[in-house]
Amino acid sequence: MGGVSALPPVPPPRAGAAPDAPAAPGGARRSLAAALLLGSAGSTAVLLASGRIWAEGRAEVGGGTVALDATGGDVTGVPSALAVVALAALVALFAVRRGGRLLVSALLALSGAGVVAAALLGSSDRAALDEAAARTTGDAAAAVDGLTHTPWPYAGAAGGLLILLAGVLALRFGARWPAMSGRYERDGTPRRRPAPAAVDPDRPEDLWKALDRGEDPTREA
- Which pLDDT belongs to residue 20? 42
- 3-class secondary-structure state, position 179: coil
Domain membership of residue 198 (yes or no) is no
Name residue 66's beta-bridge partners: 59
- Is 43 inside any structural domain? yes
- Residue 44, in any domain of the structure: yes
CATH of the domain at 172: 1.20.140
Q: Is residue 212 part of a domain?
A: no
More confident residue, 21 or 163: 163
Domain count along the chain: 1
Is 129 a member of any domain?
yes
Of 133, 127, 81, 101, nearest to 35 by C-alpha is: 101
Is residue 203 one of the residues assigned to a domain?
Answer: no
Q: Which domain holds residue 48?
A: 27-180
113-143 pLDDT, tens per residue? 999 999 999 999 888 888 888 888 787 777 7
In this predicted model, which residue has the larger pLDDT, 100 or 112? Answer: 112
pLDDT at 54 over 90: yes
- Spatial distance between the Cα atoms of 28 and 20, rounded to a whole number of angstroms: 17
- Is 83 part of a structural domain of the chain? yes
Q: What is the pTM of this model?
A: 0.69
Residue 207 falls within a domain, yes or no?
A: no
What are the tens digits of pLDDT across the range 171-210? 999 888 877 654 444 555 555 655 556 655 556 666 566 6
Q: Considering the chain, what is the average pLDDT of its residues? A: 80
